[in-house]
């Protein structure tokens, strides 16, 4: 085998592994893929959203993070109020995320529950149910 083929194959395997794990880098900050699924009705989601007060959901993001955009779109679709803290636009937000030992975005805090592995609708709903 040629050396060029081995290098190309290695790059392909690494890229595939990154896609499978859902971890990508955006300007030095990891972006952890959103799992947007769930076994909850739209009616229940809207009911839960109506009971969320300002500041109860915080999402740490970066400007170019596609998973952050997905999580925000999902929350907006069902009427959830959230506070966004863009770690690229605000040094304070970046410092807060570092203090939380967050190593990627989106990083959410839902009524005190830390979603360190990105957005997952099942975990999100569970955090709201457990705290409400």
Q: 106 pLDDT exceeds 90?
A: yes
The contacts of residue 82 (CB under 8 Å, 6+ apart) are 52, 57, 58, 59, 72, 75
Q: 132 pLDDT exceeds 80?
A: no
Whether the model clears a pTM of 0.85, i.e. scores above it, the answer is no
Cβ neighbours of 58 (radius 10 Å): 18
The contacts of residue 30 (CB under 8 Å, 6+ apart) are 23, 24, 103, 104, 105
Model pLDDT for residues 53-79, shown as the tens digit of each residue: 999 999 999 999 999 999 999 999 999
Contact 68, 105 (CB under 8 A): yes
Q: 1 pLDDT exceeds 70?
A: no
CATH fold of the domain at 25-131: Glutaredoxin (3.40.30)
- In the chain, where are the structural domains located? 25-131
């Amino acid at each position: 085998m040629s050396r060029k083929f081995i290098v190309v194959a290695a790059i392909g395997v690494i890229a595939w592994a990154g896609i499978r794990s859902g971890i990508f880098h955006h300007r030095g900050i990891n972006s952890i893929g959103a799992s947007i699924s769930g076994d909850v009705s739209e009616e229940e989601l809207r009911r839960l959203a109506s009971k969320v007060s300002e500041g109860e959901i915080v999402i740490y993001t970066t400007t170019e993070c596609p998973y952050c955009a997905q999580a925000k779109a999902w929350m907006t679709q069902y009427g959830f109020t959230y506070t966004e803290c863009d770690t690229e636009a605000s040094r304070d937000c970046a410092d807060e995320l570092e203090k939380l030992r967050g190593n990627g975005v989106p990083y959410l805090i839902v009524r005190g529950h830390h979603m360190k592995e990105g957005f997952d609708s099942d975990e999100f709903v569970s955090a709201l149910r457990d705290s409400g």
